[in-house]
Structure 1
Amino acid sequence: MLFILFTLDSERYVIDATQVERLMPLTPQSPPKTIPGAPSWVAGVLDHEGAPLPLIDLPALALGRPAAQLMSTRVVLVRYPHAGTTRLLALLLEGATRTIRLDVTAFHDAGLDMPHARYLGPVASEAGGLVQWIRVEHLLPDDIKALLFPEAHA
C-alpha cells in the first residue's frame, strides 16, 4: 500500500495515499484566513478553486506548536469522510516530500490507548525505523467538525 511519509519533529508518520487528493507547497503569498475562536491547530481556511477549505496544522494538533515554514512543509488535500459524504480537508504537514510502500499487515497496534488522539493508528517497522499511521478519518473531534462543516450539523 502506498503512503505519504512526513515527520513530526524527528518521528515519522504516514497517511494513506489513496485518501490524498493533492500535495501542494506552502505558499506565504496566500496565507489561510484565520477563524477567530478556533483551536490553535485549526490554521484557518484556504481558497481552493473558489471554495473555502479548512486547514488543519498537524504539528499544532499533535505537538502544540505550529508547522515550521520549511521547503518540505506541504499542504496535503485529503478526502475526509463526514456525515455520509466525503469532504476535502487540508492538512499542513512537515517533511512531506516522499512516498513509501508498506504492507498493511506490517502494521501493529501501538499498545497505547490515546482517547484524546484517536488519529494515532498502528505502527510498522521498516528500514528507517518505526512509522505510525495517522488515521485521517479520526483527526477531528465532533465539536471541530461542527465548526468546520456547520451545514452538516444544522
Structure 2
Amino acid sequence: MQVLLFQLGNDRYGIDTRHVVRVLPLLECKTVPHAPPWVAGLMNLRGEAVPVIDLRRLARSGQGGQDEHGERHDPGEPRFDTRIVLVRHVARDGRSRPLGLIVEHAREVIRLDPSGFAASAIDTPQAPYLGEVTTANGAILQLVDVDRLLGDEAAALLYPESAA
C-alpha cells in the first residue's frame, strides 16, 4: 500500500494514495460565515467549488500546540509547508466528491505493508476517521480514513445537495 505522509503538529499521519487526487499549495479559500472553525471554506478548482477542511483544526479542536522547534503556534496558522491534499471522499450515499484537506509536511509517499498496521490502542469515538497505526522510520504513523472524515452533520454542511 502506498501512503502519503503528512503531519499535524508533531504527529505523523498518512492517507492511502488511492484516495489522493493531488497535493496543492495552500490556496486562498472563500470563507463560509458561521461554519465550524475546522471548515476553511471553498476553493475554486477549475470552476468547481470544492469544500476544504482544516485537518489540523479538526484534529486539534482549535487548540494551540508546539512545533518541532518548541515554538507555540495556532494549528490553523499557515506555515511554509502547509498544503491542501485533494482527495475523493465517498459519502454514505455512495457518491464520490472532491474534498480539500489542509495539512502540514505533505511531501513524501512511502510503500508500507498493510499487514504491519494494527488497531490503535486508544479508542477515539470523537474522531472516527483515525485509523490503524504502524511504525515507519522509527516513528508511529496513524492512517486517516478519508471516507470517515465527515459525519452526517458535517457532510450535510459541506454537501447540502446530498442532504435533500
Alignment map for 1:80-91 (pairs within 5 Å): 80-82=89-91, 83-91=93-101
CA RMSD of aligned residues (A): 1.1
**CA–CA distance in structure 2, aligned partners of residues 99 and 12 of structure 1:** 13
Paired residue for 1:121, among 128, 131, 141? 131
Question: Does the Cα contact within 8 Å between 1:33 and 1:44 map onto a contact in 2?
Answer: yes
Deviates more, 1:126-135 or 1:60-69: 60-69
Aligned residue pairs, count: 151
**CA–CA distance in structure 2, aligned partners of residues 10 and 150 of structure 1:** 34
Paired residue for 1:62, among 59, 63, 67? 59
Give the equivalent residue in structure 2 for 1:12.
12
Alignment map for 1:3-42 (pairs within 5 Å): 3-27=3-27, 31-42=28-39
Q: Using structure 1 for the length normalisation, give the TM-score.
A: 0.93
Letter in 2 for 1:75: I
**CA–CA distance in structure 2, aligned partners of residues 108 and 75 of structure 1:** 27
Residues 89-129 of structure 1: CA deviation (Å, up to 9, x unaligned): 00001111111111111100012221110011010012231
Letter in 2 for 1:49: R
Moved over 6 A (4+): none
Instruction: Provide the secondary structure at the position in 2 that maps to 1:18.
Output: coil
Residues 33-70 of structure 1: CA deviation (Å, up to 9, x unaligned): 11111110000010111011000100000013343322
Paired residue for 1:71, among 58, 80, 88? 80
Question: Does the Cα contact within 8 Å between 1:22 and 1:76 map onto a contact in 2?
Answer: yes
Instruction: Provide the secondary structure at the position in 2 that maps to 1:43.
Output: strand
**CA–CA distance in structure 2, aligned partners of residues 3 and 71 of structure 1:** 22
Instruction: Provide the secondary structure at the position in 2 that maps to 1:33.
Output: coil
**CA–CA distance in structure 2, aligned partners of residues 52 and 135 of structure 1:** 23
Letter in 1 for 2:115: T
Letter in 1 for 2:9: D
